[in-house]
Structure 1
Amino acid sequence: MTDLDQRLSPPSPLSAARAALRRAAPALLVYAGVRALGLAVLAVWGAAAGKSPHTLLAARWDSLWYTRVAEHGYGWEVTLPDGSVHSNLAFFPLLPWLERFGAAVSPLSYADAGLVVSWLASLFAAAGIFAVADHLYGRRAGVCATALWAVLPVGIVQSMAYSESLFTALAAWSLYALLRERWVLAGLLASLTGLTRPVGAAVVTAIWVTAAVRMYQERRADRRMLLGVLLAPLGAAGYVLWVGHRTGGGLFGYLDVQAGWGNGFDFGYAFARFIGDKFTSVPGALAGLGLLLGVALVVWLYVVGVRQRQPLPLLVYTGIVVALALCAAGYFGSKPRLLLPAFPLLLPLAVALARLRTSRSALILGGVAALGAVYGAFWLHGSGPP
């Protein structure tokens, strides 16, 4: 093969993967460093408080529910004193499946397998966030977007045996594939998000809306596009229909399971009432004001993304993730982590940071990372689930 042939021939998949990894390496190193800082602070805090960081990360709250599904399968439930029933059918199966696989092929326990899955998935999520931001705004913005996702005050959840990291990884790469018009890959990954969390509907809707707009504009339908559209909802539809069959509730069986947990969509009424109740005392008023500022920041970042003309798939996806997080009826303390997958909210900030000198942006991100590490340790040592 001549030099001209080598230049004209497309790169092999392996060489393309190596080039992509080299390009993303700075972002992944920054991400790993921030998460290592968070774990170190958690370990120091745990030693002082007499609590095991491993237990906090792998064997409390939702982590226990996932490992029970991995070990014993579905069908376990708890009846609370008020009569409500918490069923493990509320937890989607992909993370427990991976925990079971990890425990089967290694000496790891189900809980430790969940930690490994989460840590690896968080790296894939960071790479996906970088890929999206790099594709739209360049490499510096990609590094900043990845760093911002890492330094979030609730970023410690990315290192827990929870499903947020796994979901964000699948969602980010599905959206990236969609931006690159790789419809089948986008649909396959969207189907996996639907096996991970209920909010997988956001990825599916992003694909459907983007395809509908494209078909309207071009007055035709590409076969690969249609295949991606058909593949996207299969994961969520399969699990929801299975739950309905198992519970005898039909199409609404999964909603009944969620209702037992106190979850539901009330357009934000319960959350607004929760915030309003905070203003009955001075300390509570400060907390209520902080919540209002947090909600305002989320809305503002979304509006800025609209004004910056983020691609339609990102706007649809982010809008649904935010709506489901803020307008759900229960578990108000968990809303910050429910917003973790809404990484496109960080893109306006990433673009602004990318315009600064490297030393200045590093100073800002370093300061926020330190504060986030301390807050994450404080948060996990609280009484309630994150």
Structure 2
Amino acid sequence: MHKSSARSPLTWFVHISVAFLVILWTLPTAGLFITAIRDKDQIVASGWWTALSTSTQNIIYRAPAAEAQVERDGAFVIAGNVLEGGKGGVSAFGTSIREPTAYVPGQAVDAGDGTKLTVEENGDFRIESPVRFENKRGIRIFYTAEIPPRFTLDNYRTVLTAEGIGQSFLNSLTVAIPSTIIPILVAAFAAYALAWMKFPGRSLLLAVIVGLLVVPLQMSLIPLLQMYNKIGAFFGVPAKTYLGIWLAHMGFGLPLAIYLLRNYIAGLPREIMESARVDGANDFTIFVRIVLPLSYPALASFSIFQFLWTWNDLLVATVFLGNSEETIVLTGRLRELLGSRGGNWEILTASAFVTIIVPLAVFFALQRYLVRGLLAGSVKGG
């Protein structure tokens, strides 16, 4: 009893710490989701944590041009409503960007050239002139409005209905799936050899592989592309093909894959290997029939990391595939939707949720193997 009660505060501390970390990691995702379904004007005006409260926005409205005028009681009038959808209320307005809150709703003000402007609290405006309007563009009305919370799926519609988004989705799958499977196959053979086969220089080779984990991708990307282009030109292989990016992702993913799989395979029971050899099995048979089935947790854990990396990649895909309509990946397509200057940045949040659907499915399908595979070999080594 004393021992159990002594550990109770520590247990509470662990539980509170885990809950805190869960909340800390969940809040950004919640903010991303809420922002993705908010109106784009409200995204600019206030943070996601104010999504359920009324927001104050300074807005510029362009009134209709001269063709919208009507004659009433000897005066020419242009009328309408500055509030989109009629939601919210006007708290102040103005005729100049320097003084957007100069007047209160219902006040008739001089808009120049004898024109009178009135903006009501419900957004109705009236522009009145004793002479016919001749302007080809309507005057600008600056106003401050109290806008109630507004949620919409327009950001998702913009992303999902963009031209070429389906082809880019297939291109990303074409890149990610082989770029995940190929390194696993190569690394599994290498890991078995480093764990259970005796040959000169095994320890040195393992040290080199571990050292490659710290090589920055950005440092080796361009030399790798140049080498690939030279080899491709020698063998007549065209540049900007899927083969190039598969090989690139294999090269960048192999060090971590070999390290993880070697630690796991080295921790497998030696008795199983010796029994198989006594029964006449060679290394290939042992690897295929015993090691691979037992190494599924490690294979699954690396698959999650590799798939997430290749699916979300933009840099390597841009370098090895380019931005042509036939080969551009999903991340590249979404980047183009933002515009050359990022003017449509409000779709970033919706784009983020569109891109994580497939990685989430892969993660939840394999997550029960993740921790087991990562911790494999951390205590016992071969």
TM-score normalised by length of structure 2: 0.21
Greater C-alpha Rg: 2
Q: Which has the higher helix share?
A: 1
Q: Which has the higher strand share?
A: 2
